[in-house]
Copies of this chain bind each other. A is one copy, B any other.
Amino acid sequence: MAGAAAGERQSSTAAEASSPLRVAVLGFGTVGQSVVRILTERTELASELALVAIFNRNVARKRADWVAPSVTWTDDAAAVLTAKPDVIVETVGGVELPYGWVSAALAQGISVVTANKLLLAAHAPELLALAAASGARLRFEAAVAGGVPIIDAVRTGLAGDTFTRVVGILNGTCNYILSRMTGGDSMSDALGEAQRLGFAEADPTSDVDGHDAAAKLAVLVGVAFKRYIRTSEISTGSIRRIDAIDFRYAKRLGGTIRQISMAECDASGAVRAFVGPALVPDSSNYARNTGPQNLVTLTGRFGGNTTFSGQGAGGYPTAVAVVSDLVALARQTRSGAEPAWTPTSVSAAPMRPYYIRFSVKDRPGILASITVALARHGINVDAVLQESGFPKDHLPFVVTVEPCEATALAGAMREIDAEDFHAEPVLVMPVLPGE
């Protein structure tokens, strides 16, 4: 019998390996389109994930010629479920309509991947119970902090720990506005610029008053503490009240101002939560997080603080989170083993600008021989810097060069190293870009 059972499992595994997960995407807006783009462009995912249907209202005006012709386009959400895909991706937004579709899918054993924080904040307990009852899976990496894989970190990468605290910058619009204000902009100018760039809605209430971040915090509280809290119970403050003077005071206090979402859970399971403007020290990750970036710090009982930052919104970053959830669902029924690593030779360092520091016994013509050697190897000088106050027989100066191949630079440096003007060996370092 053991043999027969093993045989059954084996043939079932083989069947799974040959049939990809059938995916229906609900909503063909920015995120839905980016999901379909990734599924289309990453052809190596075809063995695991097969797009079968796209739902959108008035779907005719959405139909895109770069999508495989095998995909069904429909404006009938019920028909999508009737066709029994293995998983639906919900990127429509709103609460009540998606709740109907998602709960119907989970009840039928169809797994769901959603980017919808409001749906989860409103209905997570019912949805998780439906999934538990049917064996379907509910995944929602994209619902919080867009492309930053914070939910997976809690559930897998840091599963060895338990968490006492989660603090984050979960709303890129507010972070952009407050970053601009740190630089001297007024609130209204910063908000106007955020709207012009598409970071902020025409009605920014949900962002600036903290409702958007509060829904995300409720989802993080669920994931990190396994507690469900009502968004409406979270104490929220608006950033509308922040004035230029507050940035001056913040500076005197060694910090700046950010919209912060934070929650703590004590050993008894009591949850404290807050969303609103907060003073953050300049030395903290929060102060350093500028523009529309999101950032989350998890505090573990054993491992201390771990911080995650990246794109909190945008079609592709959010779609990466959605597709990551799909991949996880597909691999759940597979081995999930680390794939083999292809043996590969290493080339030299990536092309970079370089910092080259000389210490020389000064005499005329040194810079000329250096620049001539660099030019001979096709390397362009960017700048020459010399600090004052050093002795002539041990004079440090720096040459920076534009991005070049490490091998070309090594060739030039061999010639330069052979010169007799060095007081000590030359120091060469690549220059990294800002982020």
Q: Are B435 and A307 in contact (CB under 8 A)?
A: yes
In this complex, which of A138, A153, A320 has the most chain B Cβ atoms within 10 angstroms of its Cβ? A320
- In Å, the complex CA distance between A49 and B130 comes to 27
Q: Are B306 and A147 in contact (CB under 8 A)?
A: yes
Q: Are A153 and B155 in contact (CB under 8 A)?
A: no
Which residue from B8, B129, B150, B245 sits with its C-beta under 8 Å from A387? B245
Q: Are B355 and A279 in contact (CB under 8 A)?
A: yes
Q: Are A345 and B138 in contact (CB under 8 A)?
A: no
Interface string of A119-137 (1 = CB under 8 A from B): 0000011001101100101
**How far apart are A14's CB and chain B's nearest CB, in angstroms?**
13
Q: Are B305 and A307 in contact (CB under 8 A)?
A: no
Interface string of A68-96 (1 = CB under 8 A from B): 00000000000000000000000000000
A167 and B306 contact, Cβ closer than 8 Å, known pairs A5-B8, A341-B124, A355-B253: no
Q: Are B161 and A344 in contact (CB under 8 A)?
A: no
Q: Are B235 and A324 in contact (CB under 8 A)?
A: no
**How far apart are A407's CB and chain B's nearest CB, in angstroms?**
10
- In Å, the complex CA distance between A267 and B276 comes to 44
**How far apart are A288's CB and chain B's nearest CB, in angstroms?**
5
**Residues of B contacting A385 in the complex (Cβ-Cβ under 8 angstroms):** 249, 252-253
A302, closest chain B residue (CB): B316
* Interface residue A338 (Cβ < 8 Å from any Cβ of B): yes
Q: Are A427 and B262 in contact (CB under 8 A)?
A: no
Interface positions of A from 183 to 212, Cβ below 8 Å from B:
none
* Interface residue A230 (Cβ < 8 Å from any Cβ of B): yes
**Residues of B contacting A42 in the complex (Cβ-Cβ under 8 angstroms):** 162
Q: Are A349 and B156 in contact (CB under 8 A)?
A: no
**Residues of B contacting A5 in the complex (Cβ-Cβ under 8 angstroms):** 8-9, 12
**Residues of B contacting A139 in the complex (Cβ-Cβ under 8 angstroms):** 338
A350 and B264 contact, Cβ closer than 8 Å, known pairs A137-B337, A157-B149: yes
Interface string of A342-364 (1 = CB under 8 A from B): 11111111101001010000000
- In Å, the complex CA distance between A297 and B433 comes to 12
A273, closest chain B residue (CB): B346
Q: Are B279 and A429 in contact (CB under 8 A)?
A: yes
Which residue from B131, B227, B252, B323 sits with its C-beta under 8 Å from A342? B227
In the complex this chain forms, how many copies of it are found?
2
**Residues of B contacting A355 in the complex (Cβ-Cβ under 8 angstroms):** 249-250, 253, 279
**How far apart are A277's CB and chain B's nearest CB, in angstroms?**
5
Q: Are A387 and B249 in contact (CB under 8 A)?
A: yes
* Interface residue A242 (Cβ < 8 Å from any Cβ of B): yes
Stretch at the interface among A58-66, A326-334, A367-375: A326-334
* Interface residue A321 (Cβ < 8 Å from any Cβ of B): yes
**Residues of B contacting A306 in the complex (Cβ-Cβ under 8 angstroms):** 147-149, 308-311
Which residue from B12, B274, B319 sits with its C-beta under 8 Å from A349? B274
Q: Are B156 and A328 in contact (CB under 8 A)?
A: yes
**Residues of B contacting A155 in the complex (Cβ-Cβ under 8 angstroms):** 338
Which residue from B160, B328, B335 sits with its C-beta under 8 Å from A38? B160
- In Å, the complex CA distance between A396 and B242 comes to 13
Q: Are B349 and A262 in contact (CB under 8 A)?
A: yes
Q: Are A396 and B245 in contact (CB under 8 A)?
A: yes
* Interface residue A380 (Cβ < 8 Å from any Cβ of B): no
Which residue from B129, B335, B429 sits with its C-beta under 8 Å from A135? B335
**Residues of B contacting A342 in the complex (Cβ-Cβ under 8 angstroms):** 226-228, 269
Q: Are A432 and B284 in contact (CB under 8 A)?
A: yes
* Interface residue A431 (Cβ < 8 Å from any Cβ of B): yes
**How far apart are A174's CB and chain B's nearest CB, in angstroms?**
13
A338 and B308 contact, Cβ closer than 8 Å, known pairs A5-B12, A317-B303: no
* Interface residue A281 (Cβ < 8 Å from any Cβ of B): yes
* Interface residue A158 (Cβ < 8 Å from any Cβ of B): yes
Complex A-B: 8 CB contacts under 8 Å: A125-B340, A128-B340, A138-B338, A228-B341, A249-B355, A253-B355, A274-B349, A303-B321
